[in-house]
Amino acid sequence: MKISVLFLCLMNPLLGLSVDQNFDTKNQASGIVVVGQVDKIEEGKKIMLVQDRFRHIEKETDSEGIFSARISTLAGGMIYLVYDQLYTDFYAQEGDSIFIKINPSQSKFEFSGDHADKNNYLFARSSIDRSIYQKKIFNLAQDSFELALDHLSIQLGELLKKHSQLLDAQFIQQEKKFLTLYLMDLAAKYYARKSDKELQADIEYQMQAYFEDSTLLQYNHFRGYLFSNYRGRVQNDVFKQFQEKDDPVGKLLALFEGIGNTYDNQKIKDYLYYVTAFRFFKTSNDSLQWVQNRFNELCTTKDYREDIDLLIRENSMKLSKGKIAPDFTLSNINQQKISLRELRGKVVYIDFWATWCAPCIKELPDWEKLRREYASNNDIVFLGISIDQDISRWTKYVKDKKLGGIQLIAPEGRKSSVNKVYTVTGIPRYVLIDKAGKIIDEFAPHPSSKEIRDLLKTTLENKE
Rounded to whole angstroms, the Cα distance separating 404 from 382 reads: 8
Check if the beta carbon of residue 65 is closer than 8 Å to that of residue 1.
no
C-alpha dihedral (280, 281, 287, 290), degrees to nearest 10: 50
Rounded to whole angstroms, the Cα distance separating 41 from 399 reads: 41
Bridge partners for 324 per DSSP: 438
Q: In this structure, which amino acid lies at residue 349?
A: Y
Do 312 and 426 sit in the same domain of this protein?
A: no
Q: Residue 47: helix, strand or coil by DSSP?
A: strand
Q: What is the CATH number of the domain that holds 32?
A: 2.60.40.1120
Do 44 and 108 sit in the same domain of this protein?
A: yes
Q: How far is CA 143 from the centre of its chain?
A: 39
Question: What Cα–Cα distance (Å) separates residue 242 from each residue in 73, 234, 274, 287, 413?
Answer: 33, 13, 21, 22, 38
Residues whose CB is less than 8 angstroms from the CB of residue 383 and which lie 6 or more positions away in sequence, other chains included? 343, 348, 349, 350, 351, 405, 406, 408
Rounded to whole angstroms, the Cα distance separating 395 from 74 reads: 48
pLDDT of residue 133: 76
Check if the beta carbon of residue 355 is closer than 8 Å to that of residue 361.
yes
Among 292, 316, 340, which residue terminates a domain?
Answer: 316
Do 238 and 306 sit in the same domain of this protein?
A: yes
Q: Sort residue 40 into left (φ over 0), alpha (ψ -120 to 50) or beta.
A: beta
Max Cα-Cα span within the chain? 82
The answer to the question of residue 365 being in a domain is: yes
pLDDT of residue 284: 63
Rounded to whole angstroms, the Cα distance separating 15 from 21 reads: 17
Residues whose CB is less than 8 angstroms from the CB of residue 346 and which lie 6 or more positions away in sequence, other chains included? 378, 379, 380, 381, 435
Q: What is the DSSP letter of 341?
A: G
Q: In this structure, which amino acid lies at residue 32?
A: I
The answer to the question of residue 215 being in a domain is: no
pLDDT of residue 144: 94
For residue 238, how many C-alpha atoms fall within 13 Å in the half-sphere facing its CB?
22
Do 305 and 366 sit in the same domain of this protein?
A: no
Total number of domains constituting the chain: 3
The answer to the question of residue 212 being in a domain is: no
Rounded to whole angstroms, the Cα distance separating 211 from 205 reads: 11
Do 302 and 403 sit in the same domain of this protein?
A: no
Q: Determine how β-strand 108-113 pairs with β-strand 47-50.
A: unpaired
Tell whether omega for the bond before 365 is within 30 degrees of 0, i.e. cis: no
Reading the chain (464 residues) residue by residue, the pLDDT tens digits are: 333 433 334 334 444 443 343 444 434 446 899 999 998 877 778 899 988 767 788 888 888 899 998 887 775 689 999 998 899 999 998 889 999 999 999 999 999 999 999 999 999 999 998 888 767 889 999 999 999 999 999 999 999 999 999 999 999 999 999 999 999 999 999 999 988 989 999 999 999 999 999 999 999 889 999 999 999 999 999 999 998 877 888 999 999 999 999 999 999 999 999 999 998 887 665 557 888 999 999 999 998 999 898 888 776 666 778 888 888 999 999 999 999 999 999 999 999 999 998 889 999 999 999 999 999 999 999 999 999 989 999 999 999 999 999 999 998 887 788 887 887 877 899 999 999 999 999 889 999 998 999 999 999 998 66
Q: In this structure, which amino acid lies at residue 137?
A: I
Q: What is the CA radius of gyration of the chain?
A: 27
Q: Which domain holds residue 274?
A: 231-316
431, 428, 446: which is closest to 366 by C-alpha?
446
Question: What Cα–Cα distance (Å) separates residue 174 from each residue in 167, 213, 222?
Answer: 11, 10, 11
CB count within 10 Å of CB 196 equals: 14
Do 95 and 13 sit in the same domain of this protein?
A: yes
SS3 sequence of 75-138: CCEEEEEEECCEEEEEEECCCCEEEEEEEHHHCEEEEEECCHHHHHHHHHHHHHHHHHHHCCHH
Rounded to 10°, the helix 289-298/266-283 angle is 160
Do 47 and 96 sit in the same domain of this protein?
A: yes
**Strands lying side by side in the sheet with 429-433:** 337-339, 329-331, 406-409, 380-386, 347-353, 429-433, 439-441
CB count within 10 Å of CB 17 equals: 22
Sign of the CA dihedral with 200 first, then 205, 211, and 213 last? negative
CB count within 10 Å of CB 352 equals: 22
| Residue 92, phi then psi, degrees to nearest 5 | -160, 150
The answer to the question of residue 286 being in a domain is: yes
The answer to the question of residue 289 being in a domain is: yes
pLDDT of residue 318: 67
Q: Sort residue 3 into left (φ over 0), alpha (ψ -120 to 50) or beta.
A: beta
Rounded to whole angstroms, the Cα distance separating 385 from 331 reads: 10
Q: What is the CATH number of the domain that holds 374?
A: 3.40.30.10
Do 246 and 363 sit in the same domain of this protein?
A: no
Do 419 and 368 sit in the same domain of this protein?
A: yes
Do 333 and 305 sit in the same domain of this protein?
A: no
Q: Residue 50: helix, strand or coil by DSSP?
A: strand
User: Which residues in 272-284 are b (16+ Cβ under 10 Å) and which e?
Assistant: bbbbbbbebbeeb
The answer to the question of residue 419 being in a domain is: yes
Do 336 and 256 sit in the same domain of this protein?
A: no
Do 449 and 375 sit in the same domain of this protein?
A: yes
